[in-house]
Amino acid sequence: MAEASLGGHAAAVETTTGLDHRKMVMWAFLGSECLFFGSLISTYLVYRNRSLTGPFPQDTFDIPYTSVSSFVLLMSSLTMVLALAAIQRGNVRGMRTWLVATGLLGSVFLGGQVYEFTTFIAHGLSLSRNLFGTTFFVLTGFHGAHVTVGVVILFSLFLNSLRGKLTRENSLVVELAGLYWHFVDVVWVVIFTVVYLLPY
C-alpha cells in the first residue's frame, strides 16, 4: 500500500515473482486481517448466550431488515467488479460510474448500520449493558469502520480520476481497492451468519 500511488506515477517494478509488490502486500494485509476478525469473532462466539441480563439477541435482531442491508453490501461487490472491468478496458467514464455506485451502496449499508445501532440502543442494548451488547457492538462496529475506510478509498479514487490520474495503465490501484472491498464483504457474510442467522 505504501507505494500505492493514487496518482499515475507508480513505476513498473520488475519483481521476482512477477506479481506487483503492492498486490502482494495487499494479500498479506488481508491475511493479517483474517486473524484480526478471527479474534473478534472468536470472542463473540465464546460469549455467545452468556449474557446474564437482557436484551438478548432474539429480542433484538430484525433479520429481514439486516438481510436487506447485507444484500446491498453484497451487490456493491458486483459494482466493484464492474468498475475494475471498465478501467481495465480503458473505460474511465464507466469506472467512475461504478466506483460511485459502489461507494453509495457501501454508504447505504453504513446508514443501515447506524439506524440499526440506534434502534438497538433505544431498546436498551448498549456497549456496557451485557456481554451481548459488548461483543455485538465491538465486532460489527469494527466491521463498519472497515467499510467506512473502504468508502473513503472509493470516493478518493473517484476524485482522483476526475483529475485524470486514473488510467488503464494503473488500473492496479482500482484492483487493490477491490481486493480490500471484497474482503470486507466476505467478512460480513461470516459475521451475518454467525451473529444473526445461527439460532440462539
Partner 1 sequence: MATAEHAATTHQPDRRRYEGIWSWIFTVDHKKIGVMYGVTAVCFFLIGGIEALLIRSQLMFPNGKVVSPDQFNELFTMHGTTMIFLALMPLSVAFFNIVVPLQIGARDVAFPRLNAFSYWVYLFGGLLLNASYLFGGAPNAGWFGYANLTEVPYNHSSYGIDFWILGLQILGVSSMAGAFNFLVTIINARAPGMTFMRMPLFTWMTLVTSFLLILAFPVITVALVELMFDRLFATNFFNPAAGAEPILWQHLFWLFGHPEVYILILPAMGIISDVLPTFARKPLFGYPVVAYSGVAIAFMSWGVWAHHMFSAGLGPVANAVFSVTTMLIAVPTGIKIFNWIGTLWGGSINFKTPLLFALGFIAMFTIGGLSGVMLASPPADWLENDTYFVVAHIHYVLFGGTIFGLFAGIYYWFPKVTGRLLDERLGQIHFWLMLIGMNVTFAGMHVLGMEGMPRRIATYPPGMGWDTWNFIATIGAFTIAVGMLVFIYNFFASVRHGQVAGPDPWDGRTLEWSIPSPPPPYNFARIPIVRARDPFWVQKYGDAGHGHGRVVPMPVAGGAHDAEEARADEHGEGIHMPDPSYYPIVAALGLAVMLAGVILTNLILGNPPGTQPAWPPSWVAFVGLVVFLYGIYGWALEPVSGHSS
How many residues of this chain interact with partner 1, rule: CB under 8 A?
46
Among 64, 122, 128, 199, binds partner 1 (CB under 8 A): 128
Minimum CB distance to partner 1, residue 8 (Å): 9
List all residues 6 or more positions away from 135 whose beta carbon is below 8 Å from its beta carbon.
43, 44, 47
Q: Give me 102's grid cell.
A: 459502489
> Could you identify the residue written with the cell 457492538?
137
Q: Give me 140's grid cell.
A: 460489527
Which of 58, 67 has the CB closer to partner 1? 58
Q: How far lies 147's CA from each of 97, 152, 186, in Å?
A: 19, 9, 12
3 state DSSP class of 199: coil
Among 76, 130, 140, 161, binds partner 1 (CB under 8 A): 130
How far apart are alpha carbons 166 and 15 in whole angstroms? 23
3 state DSSP class of 8: coil
Span near partner 1 by CB under 8 A; candidates 20-28, 68-76, 87-95, 186-194: 20-28
Among 79, 102, 134, 171, binds partner 1 (CB under 8 A): 134
List all residues 6 or more positions away from 196 whose beta carbon is below 8 Å from its beta carbon.
61, 63, 66
Which of 142, 196 has the CB closer to partner 1? 142
Under rule CB under 8 A, residue 31 binds partner 1: yes
Span near partner 1 by CB under 8 A; candidates 10-18, 67-75, 77-85, 189-197: 10-18
Interface positions with partner 1 (CB under 8 A): 1-7, 9-11, 13-17, 19, 21, 24-25, 28-29, 31-33, 35-36, 38-40, 43, 46-47, 50-52, 127-128, 130-131, 133-135, 138, 142, 156, 160
